[in-house]
Amino acid sequence: MELLNLHRIVDVTAAEGPGLRCAVWTQGCSVRCPGCFNPQTWTTRGGTLVPWQDLVSRVLAIEGIEGVTLLGGEPFDQPSPLGEFAAAVRAAGLSVMTFTGNVLEELPPSKLLDSTDLLVDGPFLADRPELSRPWVGSVNQRFHFLTDRYDESIFTTPNRLELTIAPDGAIELNGFATTEVLEALLEGDHR
């Protein structure tokens, strides 16, 4: 049974792609962009190993989502089990958005690529921050519409930053924000 190595799952978010989505962060990244916001995902140790079929069951039980977003870590470091997962959720009608720190032209063929509707590619470049397009961190990152499920109309979606406070007081942030915005939030400065 092929296992996925996962870092984090958010069942429903409006901050990681078009519409409401389940966001899945994978554990392990071989790309290692300087300035990465998720360096804790670089190692392949410390993640949670899950049969891909179990993740399919979990995702298909979530109500109200239009798709799944796969983020890193580097999803294409696990193309086989993630490809099986992506193909299964797409067969059930969900869309698949996948982020990669590689560029499309250098990705080898894979079931994950074949099962992705919307691919966002390219490494994060800390010195070239993106200020207008949603979901991406730097201007070099490209959106590839690999199927007709999405088109340029997704760019009307504003960037969102979601803050979730768990019953135990733990705070989780997802979405994309500049370092300045995060620092202002943490300092209680909401200009």
Is 32 a binding residue for ligand SF4 by CB under 6 A? The answer is yes
Q: Do 135 and 17 form a contact (C-beta atoms < 8 A)?
A: yes
| # chain residues binding ligand SF4, by CB under 6 A | 13
Q: What is the number of residues in the chain?
A: 191
Closer Cβ to ligand SF4, 77 or 88, answer by number: 77
Find the shortest distance in angstroms from Cβ 123 to ligand SF4: 5
Per CB under 6 A, does 79 bind ligand SF4?
no
How many other C-beta atoms lie within 10 A of the C-beta of residue 34?
A: 10
State which residue, 52 or 176, has the beta carbon closest to ligand SF4.
176
3-state class (DSSP) for residue 13 = strand
Q: From the list 85, 124, 150, 176, which residue makes contact with ligand SF4 (rule: CB under 6 A)?
A: 124
From 6-14, 32-40, 107-115, 183-191, give the range in contact with ligand SF4 by CB under 6 A: 32-40
Binding-site member from 36, 65, 86, 120 for ligand SF4 (CB under 6 A): 36
Nearest to 128, CA basis, from 136, 119, 120, 117:
136
Examine residue 72 and tell whether it contacts ligand SF4 (CB under 6 A): yes
Could you report how far apart the first and last alpha carbons of the chain are, in Å?
Answer: 51
Strand partners, 3: 51
Considering the complex, what minimum distance in angstroms separates the CB of residue 175 from ligand SF4?
Answer: 15
Query: Which residue stretches of the chain are H helix?
Result: 52-60, 79-91, 111-114, 179-186
Which chain residues interact with ligand SF4 by CB under 6 A?
29, 31-33, 36, 38, 41, 72-74, 101, 123-124
